[in-house]
Structure 1
């Protein structure tokens, strides 16, 4: 696998064990440019429904659009990480969960963070 990730007009180094901070900044720029940054925001969550048993058409559409955007953001990240880094996103169901898992591993303080980096 190549060490670079290229799609459209973006070209960046794949995420590896020791390039988290520059990769993170570049990935945030890509997601921001594509209008996908909101999916990794700390307050990111799937739109809900006032009545989950009977959601309105607008609520269903908002949920569908959110799922579509989340999937696009997940794809951007999955295509920009090395095979060895894939383990850090296993089990994540949303791009926010993926981002949180990377942050926990790559930015952890103390013994766990030292061992993971």
Structure 2
């Protein structure tokens, strides 16, 4: 998978979603239908979120790391990258 660069967000986003999905981590970036769908207070949720955030960070070019360096959740990093 190519890292996110200035010119490949469309393809990177699709491939990243598939990668997170294969690892069972897609819920960490997806907008839930309601907040009750996921219990975000559990240890498992936090561990999964850290894994998802780590995967996203690994697939971002150095020039884009500045946007997600202080993101606390995978969703926060995802949303920041969407607007770049």
Same fold (TM over 0.5): yes
Q: TM-score range by the shorter chain?
A: 0.7 to 0.9
Say yes or no: does 1:38 pair with 2:30: no
Aligned pairs (5 A) from 1:56-67: 63-67=42-46
Which structure is higher in RCO with an 8 Å CA cutoff and minimum separation 6?
A: 2
Return the TM-score normalized by structure 1: 0.63
**Higher-helix-fraction structure:** 2
Alignment size in residue pairs = 81
- The higher radius of gyration belongs to 1
Instruction: Give 1:63 deviation, angstroms.
Output: 1.4
- C-alpha RMSD of the superposition: 1.9
Aligned pairs (5 A) from 1:38-117: 38-43=27-32, 47=39, 63-105=42-84
What are structure 1's unaligned runs of at least 5 residues?
Answer: 1-11, 49-61, 106-117
Instruction: Give 1:93 deviation, angstroms.
Output: 0.7
Q: Deviations over 1:35-74 (max 9, x none)?
A: 00000011386736xxxxxxxxxxxxx6110000000001
Structure 2 equivalent of residue 59 of structure 1: none
* Equivalent position to 1:17, from 6, 28, 43: 6
**Higher-strand-fraction structure:** 1
